[in-house]
Amino acid sequence: MKSDPFPLIAVCLALIGAAAAQEPSRGPDGGTGGTHVSGVEILAIPGKPFAAKTTTDWTRALEGGNTVSLHLDAFLARDNRGRIYRERHKFVPAGTTDQAPLYEIHLTDPVAKTDLLCNGRTYVCILSDYKPRTSFEPTPEGTYDHDTRTLHREFLGADTIEGIYVQGTRETTTVSEGVAGNERPMVSTREFWYSDELETNLAVTRIDPINGKQVIRLSNISRTEPDPHLWDVPIGFRVRDLRVASRQQRYGSLVHNP
């Protein structure tokens, strides 16, 4: 029987969040911003399939000594072709038994070069062009941005996560005073536990004075080929193809001008 990868959408139509931007790091990792936290970045690498549960715990200190702790569980997968399946959930308070609501599913295909983003509020999947990413370029150590930021990187040693060999790295970034209106230098750290075998971070910890502490871990890691139906259009959704419109907008002047 064909499985439906969007079982929670029927009861979560009103719950929609912002998509997360991503950035390169020691291993493929997501960035942070606003009221969302992005997970580890998965590269479109063929021949290294896996599926995993991903948990995110986010703690922020507020004025007056109050603390906000949030949590979510999600699922991600990559198949032998390098296709990536990723869920996006809204946070729930830490310690609650509530399930983090699913609001988006993101499907990418490096062979077809397609990106499909399915929205649980509109029941619409947006189809666009996709440029596969198969590697990353970490920021070199030292100063950058006109000597206003400094990056230091240190090796934390080796370990295993669910029997998979990983290597740890800590990045410390210092932002000079006045760059973001800050009276004193701001220091943030990021720790990555990276698997060369999967070419993916299996654990990430980020700590900075603005976004607080974010801990992301992969667990229940399966090395078998994921269910191919994960990459089907979810039942009840329609597809809006923006590829032609995007190309016309991008190259229209070249096409219409002699």
- pLDDT (tens digit, 0 to 9) for every residue of the chain, 258 residues total? 444 545 433 333 322 232 332 333 334 344 433 355 778 989 999 999 999 999 999 999 988 889 999 999 999 999 999 999 999 999 999 999 998 899 999 999 999 999 999 999 999 999 999 999 999 888 899 998 888 999 999 999 999 999 999 999 999 999 998 888 888 999 999 999 999 999 999 999 999 988 899 999 999 999 999 999 999 999 999 999 999 765 656 555 455 444
Give the pLDDT of residue 252.
58
- In-domain check, residue 210: no
Dist CA 179 CA 190 (whole Å): 20
Domain of 89, in residue numbers: 9-140+216-256
- In-domain check, residue 62: yes
- In-domain check, residue 182: no
Q: Select from 219, 210, 222 the least CA-distant residue to 175.
A: 210
Give the pLDDT of residue 22.
31
CA-based end-to-end distance of the chain: 54
CATH number at residue 132: 2.50.20
Dist CA 246 CA 142 (whole Å): 39
- In-domain check, residue 35: yes
- In-domain check, residue 226: yes
- In-domain check, residue 181: no
Number of domains in the chain: 1
3-state helix, strand, coil in the chain (%, to 5): 10, 45, 45
- In-domain check, residue 184: no
- In-domain check, residue 38: yes
